[in-house]
Amino acid sequence: MMQKKLLPPRVAAIQDLSSVGRCSLTATIPTLSAMGYQVIPLPTALLSTQTWGYDRPYFVDLTGETENMTASFVENGLSFRAIYAGYLASADQAQYVEAFFDAFSTRPDESERLPLLLLDPVLGEDGVFYTTCNHSLADGMKRLARKADVITPNLTEACLLLGEDYRDTSFLTKEQIKPYVEALLLQLQAMGPRRVVITGVPDVSGALSNYGVDETRQLFCVSNQKTKTAYPGTGDLFASVLLGKLLDGASFQSAVAYGASFVAEAARLTEAAGTPAREGVLLELLLPKLFPERNL
Ligand code: PXL
């Protein structure tokens, strides 16, 4: 009989299934599986391709299925070590995801809430909404953020959650950016989540930084060199690696640093390979790096 601690803990992943583009479930499932976790997907939408760089993806909104999937998981007595929610198809779906959080939260005490709830409030980028997102979905994400333990917005999403003005930081220095982003981090933390990271903030030096605040209110920043090409799905890949590391027991700051450098390496490798940006990063080549060392 295998030792119980070696059995892969279950992680629910509430995200879209985009067949092409290495984002959402097609990033989360391989990544967390490589790290030794069993992913239980609850697809929020079905798309032929992700939306960035493709004309008219075929899109099926699965909002109508969310409640029944949840009920079936409850009926079958499932439990989760973590719940990771990302891209949602509609504002109504956010309410069903909130019900999912409630159905599976046990909360023995506040310091070790089970399961760990990670929300990536996918809404937009570069100051604008993704084509399928809008303000009512942002309101739904705000309600979910209040319940989450960890949230991973980019700068656009942080501003949308807070109703603050988005500023393009790419011509500013880190010293100029820091007070703006740190104020956003503290406001987001005051909404409820103990740990917040604002991802992918560019600056004039050509770095891409993740600014975070941990459960002790310690602020930190980790930076990597930005590639010339931007790839879709890197936020999903980052959140997946971050979650795996947190579940492994890493501190928030070290999990953020590891996830950010993993994504930066994936972007560098993909740029060197010259594959189309809209197909995402070549994460398959890097997954072996994530394998845990285990003697079965
Ligand atoms: O990676 C965020 C994301 C998730 N899902 C879909 C997307 C995007 C970003 O464009 O299009 C369908």
233 lines ligand 1 (CB under 6 A): yes
Count of structural domains within the chain: 1
* Inside any domain, residue 4: no
Cα 141 to Cα 101: distance, rounded to the nearest angstrom: 13
* Inside any domain, residue 289: no
Structure tokens at 63: 């909002």
130 lines ligand 1 (CB under 6 A): yes
The secondary structure of residue 122, as a DSSP letter, is -
What pLDDT, on a 0 to 100 scale, did the predictor assign at position 106? 78
Which residue among 17, 51, 119 has the greatest number of ligand 1 atoms within 8 angstroms of its CB, and so is best to mutate? 51
18 lines ligand 1 (CB under 6 A): yes
Tokens 């994530």 locate to 290
Structure tokens at 260: 């950010």
Structure tokens at 171: 């011509």
pLDDT in tens, 225-261: 999 999 999 999 999 999 999 999 999 999 999 999 9
47 lines ligand 1 (CB under 6 A): yes
* Inside any domain, residue 290: no
Cα 240 to Cα 22: distance, rounded to the nearest angstrom: 13
24 lines ligand 1 (CB under 6 A): yes
* Inside any domain, residue 295: no
Spans of the chain, pLDDT less than 70: 1-5, 107-113
Nearest CA to ligand 1 atom 6: 50
* Inside any domain, residue 120: yes
* Inside any domain, residue 1: no
Domain range enclosing 127: 9-283
15 lines ligand 1 (CB under 6 A): no
Output the CA 240–ligand 1 centroid distance in Å.
14
pLDDT in tens, 122-149: 999 999 999 899 999 999 999 999 999 9
What pLDDT, on a 0 to 100 scale, did the predictor assign at position 125? 95
What pLDDT, on a 0 to 100 scale, did the predictor assign at position 5? 67
* Inside any domain, residue 293: no
What pLDDT, on a 0 to 100 scale, did the predictor assign at position 295? 72
What pLDDT, on a 0 to 100 scale, did the predictor assign at position 296? 74
* Inside any domain, residue 292: no
What pLDDT, on a 0 to 100 scale, did the predictor assign at position 114? 79
What pLDDT, on a 0 to 100 scale, did the predictor assign at position 123? 97
User: For the domain that residue 178 is a member of, what is the CATH number?
Assistant: 3.40.1190.20
Beta carbons of 43 and 13 less than 8 angstroms apart: no
Is this prediction's pTM over 0.85? yes
